[in-house]
Amino acid sequence: QLQLQESGPGLVKPSETLSLTCSVSGASITSSGYYWGWIRQPPGKGLEWIASIYYTGITYYNPSLKSRVTMSLETSKNQFSLKMNSVTAADTAFYYCARVPPHSSSIDYWGQGTLVTVSS
């Protein structure tokens, strides 16, 4: 059974860097054809795609966040990560990691989500 689990600080100060890791169990993040991604949701609001990474390491970013975001694979740990710099209160949200299977563009597995609050 595939499981995705987000981890990282729940509180980040304004102007600092948000760092999150998604640990994947039950599948290899280097399995052919899979995309892995990050989506966020401010409390009580809608969903926003942040970034995706192909199993080869090719990255795709939301243009609205591209200048502040970096996503990478950590294959030895079967994890992938998200870094977002220069955070503000507007970046306060639940952050979900997710998987998109081959020949598909829908998200079939989500992590449980982790709340990141940006505050001094």
Instruction: Please give the residue ranges that form the binding site for another protein (CB under 8 A).
Output: 46-49, 60, 62-64, 96, 104-108, 110-113
How far apart, in whole angstroms, are the C-alpha atoms of residue 78 and residue 100? 16
Helices (H), 14-110: none
Closest CB to another protein among residues 45, 77: 45
Alpha-carbon distances of 114 from 51, 82, 119, rounded to whole Å: 16, 13, 16
Closest CB to another protein among residues 86, 112: 112
- Please state the closest distance from residue 74 (CB atom) to another protein, in A: 22
- Please state the closest distance from residue 98 (CB atom) to another protein, in A: 8
Closest CB to another protein among residues 54, 110: 110
- Please state the closest distance from residue 4 (CB atom) to another protein, in A: 9
At 59, is the secondary structure helix, strand, or coil?
A: strand
- Please state the closest distance from residue 120 (CB atom) to another protein, in A: 27
